[in-house]
A and B are shown apart, each in its own frame.
Chain A
Amino acid sequence: MPIPLPASADPILDVQGLAFARNDEAVFGPLDFALGRGETLLVEGDNGSGKTTLLRVLAGLLPASAGEIRLDGQPLDHGALRGRMVFLGHQLGLKNDLSPCENLAFLAGLYGTREGAGIPSALEQVDLAIYADTPLRMLSAGQKKRAALARLALLPGELWLLDEPYANLDRRGIEMVNALVAAHCARGGATLLTSHGAVRFADPRARHVRLELAA
């Protein structure tokens, strides 16, 4: 289905006719959209509409069935994308036996850290400083989510792919996500996030492009 292109002069991500089918059954697409620097793209859709699948295709975890993804004008090479991207999936990518601090240290070892960012300050930004050394299994679902979101304040990737970042969060947590995304946009980063309808919580200053995926 046709989606209006946002007026973005220098898109970091440019997607043309992207579609994904599982066992010959269309999951989403074809989709056309572009994501520029400093922009936030909100992917909205009902449960099962293919939001998560879209994110996994963009991250390179799933091969697209059709269409083209261009990164900085070049056909996407997932090898080149790695390290420039921060991915927050439905599964948080954290070990329950490790503390938020240890989990972040592992991610920082793989992806590096942003200039001027550190693990203590990242945990402070998500209000988890006092639980920095508590094993994750002792924390609530919302606190685990915060521990996962702390990577946004730490890792250097310029393209954020966030799957349901608002899920499990309280109002403060939602504002926290918005603040992190707004700061990322202000730095010139790009964010693509999915939501099943929490749009009212999103930062009004951020630029939104809605994608209604075909159910």
Chain B
Amino acid sequence: MNTASIVQTSQAAIRTPGTSAAVRALLRRELLLAWRRRADALFPVLYALIVVSLFPFALGPEDALLARISGGVLLVTVLLAMLPSLESLFRGDLEDGSLEQMLLAPQPLPLLVLVRVLAHWAATTLPLIIVMPLLAVLLRLPAQVLPVLIVALLLATPLLALLGAILSALTAGTRRSAILLALMLLPLAVPVVIFAAGAVAAAQSGLPYLAPLLWLAAALILALVLAPFASAAALRIAAEV
């Protein structure tokens, strides 16, 4: 889809790049940045690994107990591991002026925000989901539940990232936004955790688990459409300094 529109001006033709070119450029920048800061991307994985490996020590290596709580523990661990990076999602762009360049670009800002959030999710949260089989073994999660947990996470984490992006955009210009973000994200995260944990618990007791997953999918689609607009509006306000 290369819709390079040509705007005739008095001096020379200005060629605005198509949205696909802009999306590619932004994606490339985000992934390059993630690669340059790959030590940062490792932090959520290490955090989750530490939390998960501490649980058996704290509760005792009782397989039945661990298996019963493992789904919930893994979900909450992933959510908490996502928080620190969400807080600074737009902070850097605001401080170094790249946000201004995106605000003034001829491309629709919500689209750029969406790409930005999904790239951020892929760089920080996807590694967490990839190591999930290892974490699941540490907590004695039954093997047949693992696919359900991974699907639940694949639906729940982008949803949380999109919700977090709105809050991150709202708090980008404020100090101590980490606490603010965590407090505001909590009520939004509760239903997401309930549905994801509900699916995992249902799968664990052999009950149908599709309904909560579909609810998560519906919420994710809604967030994919609406959250970029809300984040973009919040970013325009954050840039008004």
Contacts and interface: CB of A to CB of B under 8 A. Distances in A.
Given A91-B97, A105-B25, A110 B105 contact: yes
Contact of A102 (B4, B32, B107): B32
Contacts, number: 115
A82 B105 contact: yes
B24 A90 contact: no
B100 A110 contact: no
A93 B7 CA distance: 25
B97 A92 contact: yes
A110 B99 CA distance: 12
Contacts of A106: 25-26, 28-29
Interface stretch (B10-18, B66-74, B148-156): B10-18
Contacts of A59: 100, 104
Given A37-B10, A115-B12, A157-B14, A98 B100 contact: no
A93 B101 contact: yes
A111 interface: yes
A6 interface: no
A171 B96 CA distance: 25
Interface in B101-129: 101-107
Interface in B1-54: 4, 7, 9-17, 21-22, 24-26, 28-29, 32-33, 36-37
Nearest to B236: A61
Interface residues of B, number: 37
Contact of B101 (A63, A97, A110, A115): A110
A98 B36 contact: yes
B174 interface: no
B100 A189 contact: no
Contacts of B22: 109-110
Given A95-B98, A110-B25, 10 more contacts: A10-B10, A61-B104, A91-B96, A92-B97, A97-B32, A109-B17, A110-B26, A111-B16, A158-B11, A188-B10
A83 B96 contact: no
Interface of B: 4, 7, 9-17, 21-22, 24-26, 28-29, 32-33, 36-37, 92, 95-98, 100-107, 239-240
B116 to A, nearest CB: 12
A63 B24 CA distance: 31
A60 interface: yes
A96 interface: yes
A114 B16 CA distance: 10
A98 B29 contact: yes
Contacts of A206: none
